[in-house]
């Protein structure tokens, strides 16, 4: 059969028809892509041109390997089949658009068979993935898709189906190899006419041209922007916020040298170009929405909507933005203050996103503006902020009371020690969490560790201030604490609070604490067990489940140590480990009063109660309070205990048994 591209149609050469259709669609595609690129480059500078090895590796595993997509086994497999399929069949476009010139004149003959096999396999798996995706939408529709328009998605699937199915008919007319093109050879046996093959070719090319037009005009722009989004992902630790200003070395500019006129981001152009790419990279897979505690509890925040807001805002104000001018509507107004203040900064959305979108930094930058420049923030923050400014803790207690919890314990206070236990504000002043501090120190003493506390010299890590958006106050606290650490020669810190663990260990490096080693208390206690300096937990009458704190598990990567410390977990909650659900306290939500009908901690409490266990183990003072309150609110009697308390309780019980045995023997 003569190639359809070389035929005349009512006197018009086929190549001219393709030139008009294909050239027009390609022109529209390129115009929209360059427009989006220009809108992205309106953003502020962002140094993402370092760590090329790490970035390349992540592209291979995250973009090409689709590792995050495959977390959802069903939907992920369907998407991967279409994605890998199109990567394999992509080179066939050169052949189809050149009347087989690519395969006959350019491709080495030795590669022709394997190339045809790769292309056919690509079409095949893309077809299977497409059909499976359509059946999921039309027959096995998940709840999150019910009631929503499926027109765009279904039309795209129709185009993919057309592209893949027609390819086998076209292939069947070109003497396909039984070895390399078994499907094409099978279709050839069906006896399709030449006119059907010609029709299949033009349907194929028309579908591709339509797809090209729709890509930049729909959510499928992620096919273009996902690659740079993954490549330029944040290589810093998850949830690590940036200082207000940094030197070329990357270190924070000290407050005494700080000269900036604006704080945070209120305008589109104040977001970085990397943050703006997110708007076009979103696949609308709703995974971020599915894991967001604010959204699930009924608040106005939807992380996917925040990302869509970026793209929609840019497109609506494109003429103004591309002129370098500022629209009357701010990006904060598009996000809405209600959504901005609802975020718990748990980073579940960031972790779940298959294309490495960074939702949270957009919200925290907006908070900085609202807090430090616009002075528009929840009034409930004023009490905690006032206490932080005057007493360096959100509770309002005086510094002279910081070590009162340690009365009667054998511990160094304000002296040099190999390890400094950074108690944190909660364990210093909250009666419930003081018990955790006492249990932790008792265990460390039992193991013979040289450990001390700073006492009056300890100040708040600044985490509450930073998550509220008061970066100035945070930096003041950070600089004071770092100065204290340096003066006392502090090199190794143990923290019971995951927020202190994260802030001291990951964020203080920007303020001069590069050599500071910070361990969560579950890490050091589990290590001491492994070294035989502390006993292993034995089976007890308690039935234990464990709640992973966001800043310890998902963000901090400490998942196994708390479980190892308590001898394992009897029953895991449905969402646990890296996929654990937030208690609701993060992002400074601890200092806000939630709507009684929209409480995150009640959602989590119900999940933990469903395990049927009688004890919830935790590794965070905020989680302890929030989970405990949530359980009371839903009427469930479960005891909430820190992992250190559980081990210390068993050791004390064992000591009492030994003492009783000795007394009885006497």
Confidence category of residue 145, pLDDT binned at 50, 70, 90: low
CA 649 to chain centre: 36
Residue 665's pLDDT is what?
65
Query: Quick one: which of 115, 81, 144 has its CA closest to 296?
Result: 144
> Are 256 and 319 within 8 A, CB to CB?
no
From residue 113, alpha-carbon distances to 121, 164, 182 in Å are 12, 19, 12
Place of tokens 């008009």: 20
List the CATH code of the domain at 387-530. 3.40.50
CA-angle at 94, arms to 90 and 95, nearest 5°:
105
Task: For residue 638, count CB atoms less than 10 angstroms from its CB and return exposed for 0-12, middle for 13-18, buried for 19 or more.
Answer: buried
Q: What distance in Å separates the CA atoms of residue 462 and residue 232, rounded to the nearest whole number?
A: 29
pLDDT tens column, 384-436 = 999 999 999 999 999 999 999 999 998 999 999 999 999 999 999 999 999 99
Alpha helices, H only, 447-507: 463-468, 471-488, 498-502
What does the mean pLDDT of the chain come to?
94
Q: What distance in Å separates the CA atoms of residue 43 and residue 270, rounded to the nearest whole number?
A: 6
Residue 527's pLDDT is what?
97
> Are 367 and 468 within 8 A, CB to CB?
yes
Residue 346 main-chain phi, psi, to 5 deg: -75, -15
Q: One fold for both 4-220 and 387-530?
A: no
- CA end-to-end span of the chain, whole Å? 105
Residue 479's pLDDT is what?
97
Is pLDDT above 80 for 659? no
Q: What distance in Å separates the CA atoms of residue 102 and residue 98, rounded to the nearest whole number?
A: 7
Q: How many residues in the chain?
A: 666
* Fold of domain 4-220: Fumarate Reductase Cytochrome B subunit (1.20.950)
What are the boundaries of each domain within the chain?
A: 4-220, 264-372, 387-530, 544-653
Is pLDDT above 80 for 516? yes
CA-angle at 466, arms to 480 and 378, nearest 5°:
130
Token pair recorded at residue 227: 């690659």
The H or E element that residue 40 is part of is helix 14-40
CATH superfamily entry for domain 264-372:
Alpha-helical ferredoxin (1.10.1060.10)
Q: What distance in Å separates the CA atoms of residue 269 and residue 489, rounded to the nearest whole number?
A: 43
Residue 146's pLDDT is what?
65
pLDDT tens column, 524-542 = 999 999 999 999 999 888 9
- Give the residue-averaged pLDDT of 463-490: 97
Q: What distance in Å separates the CA atoms of residue 527 and residue 407, rounded to the nearest whole number?
A: 27
Residue 148's pLDDT is what?
64
> Are 463 and 240 within 8 A, CB to CB?
no
Residue 149's pLDDT is what?
63
Is pLDDT above 70 for 666? no
Residue 641 main-chain phi, psi, to 5 deg: -135, 145
Say what the pTM is.
0.93
Task: For residue 72, count CB atoms less than 10 angstroms from its CB and return exposed for 0-12, middle for 13-18, buried for 19 or more.
Answer: middle
């Amino acid at each position: 059969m003569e190639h359809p591209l070389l035929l005349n149609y009512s006197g018009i050469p086929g190549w001219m028809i393709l030139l008009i259709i294909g050239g027009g669609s390609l022109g529209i595609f390129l115009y929209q892509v360059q427009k989006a690129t220009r809108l992205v480059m309106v953003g502020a500078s962002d140094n993402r041109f370092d760590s090329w090895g790490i970035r390349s590796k992540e592209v291979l595993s995250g973009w090409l390997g689709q590792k995050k997509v495959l977390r959802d086994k069903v939907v992920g497999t369907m998407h991967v089949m279409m994605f890998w399929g199109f990567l394999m069949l992509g080179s066939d476009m050169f052949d189809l658009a050149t009347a087989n010139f690519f395969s006959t004149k350019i491709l080495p003959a030795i590669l022709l068979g394997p190339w045809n096999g790769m292309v056919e396999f690509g079409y095949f798996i893309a077809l299977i993935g497409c059909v499976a995706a359509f059946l999921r939408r039309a027959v096995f529709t998940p709840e999150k898709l019910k009631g929503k328009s499926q027109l765009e998605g279904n039309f795209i699937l129709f185009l993919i189906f057309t592209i893949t199915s027609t390819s086998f008919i076209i292939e069947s007319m070109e003497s396909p190899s039984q070895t390399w093109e078994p499907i094409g050879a099978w279709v050839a046996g069906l006896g399709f006419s030449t006119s059907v093959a010609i029709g299949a070719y033009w349907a194929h090319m028309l579908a591709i041209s339509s797809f090209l037009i729709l890509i930049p005009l729909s959510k499928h722009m992620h096919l273009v922007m996902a690659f740079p989004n993954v490549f330029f992902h944040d290589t810093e630790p998850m949830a690590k916020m940036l200082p207000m200003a940094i030197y070329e070395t990357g270190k924070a500019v000290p407050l005494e040298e700080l000269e900036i006129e604006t704080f945070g981001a209120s305008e589109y152009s104040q977001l970085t170009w990397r943050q703006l790419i997110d708007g076009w990279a979103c696949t609308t897979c709703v995974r971020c929405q599915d894991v967001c505690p604010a959204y699930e509890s009924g608040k106005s925040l939807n992380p996917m909507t925040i990302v869509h807001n970026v793209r929609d805002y840019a497109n609506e104000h494109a003429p103004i933005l591309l002129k370098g001018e500022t629209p009357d509507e701010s990006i904060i107004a598009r996000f809405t203050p209600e959504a901005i203040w609802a975020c718990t900064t748990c980073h579940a959305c960031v972790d779940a996103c298959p294309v490495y979108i960074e939702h949270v930094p957009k919200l925290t930058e907006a908070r900085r503006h609202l807090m430090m420049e616009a002075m528009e923030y929840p009034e409930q923050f004023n009490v905690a902020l006032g206490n932080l400014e005057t007493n360096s803790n959100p509770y309002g207690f005086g510094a002279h009371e910081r070590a009162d919890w340690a009365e009667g314990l054998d511990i160094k206070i304000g002296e040099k020690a190999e390890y400094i236990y950074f108690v944190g504000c909660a364990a210093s002043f909250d009666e419930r969490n003081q018990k955790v501090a006492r249990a932790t120190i008792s265990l460390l003493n039992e193991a013979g560790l040289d450990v001390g506390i700073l006492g009056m010299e300890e100040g708040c890590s600044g985490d509450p201030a930073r998550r509220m958006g008061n970066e100035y106050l945070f930096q003041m606290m950070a600089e004071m604490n770092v100065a204290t650490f340096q003066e006392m020669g502090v090199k190794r810190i143990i923290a019971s609070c995951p927020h202190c663990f994260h802030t001291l260990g990951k964020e203080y490096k920007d303020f001069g604490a590069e050599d500071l080693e910070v361990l969560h208390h579950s890490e050091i206690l589990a290590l001491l067990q492994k070294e035989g300096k502390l006993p292993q937990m034995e089976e007890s009458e308690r039935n234990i489940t464990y709640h992973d704190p966001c800043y310890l598990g998902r963000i901090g990567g400490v998942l196994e140590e708390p479980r190892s410390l308590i001898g394992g977990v009897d029953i895991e909650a449905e969402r646990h480990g890296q996929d654990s659900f937030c208690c609701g306290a993060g992002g400074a939500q601890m200092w806000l009063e939630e709507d009684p009908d929209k409480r995150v901690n009640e959602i989590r409490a119900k999940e933990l109660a469903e395990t049927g266990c009688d004890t919830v183990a935790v590794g965070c003072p905020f989680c302890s309070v929030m989970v405990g309150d949530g359980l009371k609110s839903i009427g469930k009697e479960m005891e909430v205990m820190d992992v250190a308390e559980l081990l210390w309780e068993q050791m004390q019980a064992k000591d009492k048994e030994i003492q009783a045995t000795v007394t009885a023997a006497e």
